[in-house]
Amino acid sequence: MPVKEGFDGARIFVVRYAAVMYMEFLRKARLGKLPALLLPWYDRCARPLPWRGERDPYRIWISETMLQQTRAETVKGYYARFLQALPDVQALAEAEEERLLKLWEGLGYYSRARNLQKAARQICRERAGQFPQACEELKALPGIGPYTAGAVASIAFEQPAPAVDGNVVRLLSRYLCDETPKDKLGETLRRELEEIYPPGRCGDFTQALMEAGATVCGPAGAPRCEDCPLKKDCLARENGRQKELPVCGKKAAHRTEARTVFLLRAGDALALRKRPGKGLLAGMWEFPNVAGNLEASQALEQAARWGCGPWGEVAVRQEKHVFTHVTWEMTGYEIHCAQAPAEFVWATQEEMKTRYSLPTAFRRFLPANEK
């Protein structure tokens, strides 16, 4: 290679390297401003939520687990009821599964509740009921991922452990104008944030990031930039790109399934059965149901095969329920049966209210006075 060409190549490499380093320096400087921008705003504007100011790891763990995939407004009532029934890790470890699922009924993602109990049992068995403080030890417990571990470690134990959820990714992808797909950006941000945690206010900083992402830089509609503590430094706002960010990664395919659901009534009782132990709504109670949208005559034939006939009134209702990867389009038949076949559990109205936890997809078919 001629000497001049080799020299030009080296110069281009040096210039590019310097540019990358400079961009990294600017990004670090921008991230470094976050505690000073967010904490005073958080002190003034944080919503008064029931778990705000909480430092007990058990209570923080319950609230953060409930808040995954669920809005704060919805969680409030569940949080209070759950802690009243199961006030500490021992009570959770010893609770009957049926009671636990009843307390969780309507929150969805029931594996969260089962994992809470598995982890509680492990904490009682191996650690005499004491929560681990280190993020890595928390992550070793069933159902605790990097987000929940970071939340508990930083809020309860003042560790510099970021909790990066969808709200934080949205906020910071916009603040930094970062086009990395959001499923990959979370881990990068977690590493970067670790370096800027303010000693003595780790828990507040975690909550300030979540709060700004959940309120001013929200997902639906336009972000409320005028109210945002980051507005003067936000690159997406400067470039008018707020609505383009964060960039979505590949979404799992969403499918639609037709199902026919049976409210089989025998006197005061309704037929229930348990779902299989694996897959969607694993191990939960359900109304008997079959794949496909059956006509009324086909539905009665199915009820006859179960041994429910002869029947009186039959009523029909359409309902829809959206899960993460599948939507159920359901036709429901309410059938008053003469027989109550033993293959089902027959639950009275009282038992439906107090004992059996029924996922929302099925609960939709209950009349208001039976919910």
Question: Given the rule CB under 6 A, which residues bind ligand SF4?
Answer: 171, 174-175, 216-217, 223-225, 228, 230-231, 234, 236-237, 242
Whether the CB-CB separation of 154 and 203 falls below 8 Å is answered with yes
Nearer to ligand SF4, 151 or 209 (CB): 209
Nearer to ligand SF4, 178 or 334 (CB): 178
Nearer to ligand SF4, 188 or 242 (CB): 242
User: How far apart, in Å, are the Cα atoms of 356 and each of 75, 105, 267, 286?
Assistant: 20, 9, 18, 10
Minimum distance from residue 177 beta carbon to ligand SF4 (Å):
9
Whether the CB-CB separation of 229 and 205 falls below 8 Å is answered with no
What is the maximum span of the chain, computed from C-alpha positions, in angstroms?
A: 97
Minimum distance from residue 227 beta carbon to ligand SF4 (Å):
8
Please state, in angstroms and rounded to a whole number, the distance separating the CA atoms of residues 208 and 193.
Answer: 13
DSSP state letters, 273-319? EEPPSSSTTTT-EE--EEES---HHHHHHHHHHTT--SEEEEEEEEE
- Is 136 an annotated catalytic residue? no
Torsion from C-alpha of 44, 46, 50, 52, nearest 10 degrees: -80
DSSP tag of 243? G
H/E stretch holding 173:
helix 166-175
Minimum distance from residue 172 beta carbon to ligand SF4 (Å):
8
Please state, in angstroms and rounded to a whole number, the distance separating the CA atoms of residues 259 and 96.
Answer: 31
H/E stretch holding 269:
strand 269-274
Minimum distance from residue 205 beta carbon to ligand SF4 (Å):
16
Nearer to ligand SF4, 119 or 216 (CB): 216
Query: Pick the catalytic residue: 54, 64, 158, 350?
Result: 64
Please state, in angstroms and rounded to a whole number, the distance separating the CA atoms of residues 96 and 113.
Answer: 12
Minimum distance from residue 192 beta carbon to ligand SF4 (Å):
16
Nearer to ligand SF4, 119 or 217 (CB): 217
Nearer to ligand SF4, 39 or 366 (CB): 39
Minimum distance from residue 181 beta carbon to ligand SF4 (Å):
18
* Residues noted as catalytic: 64
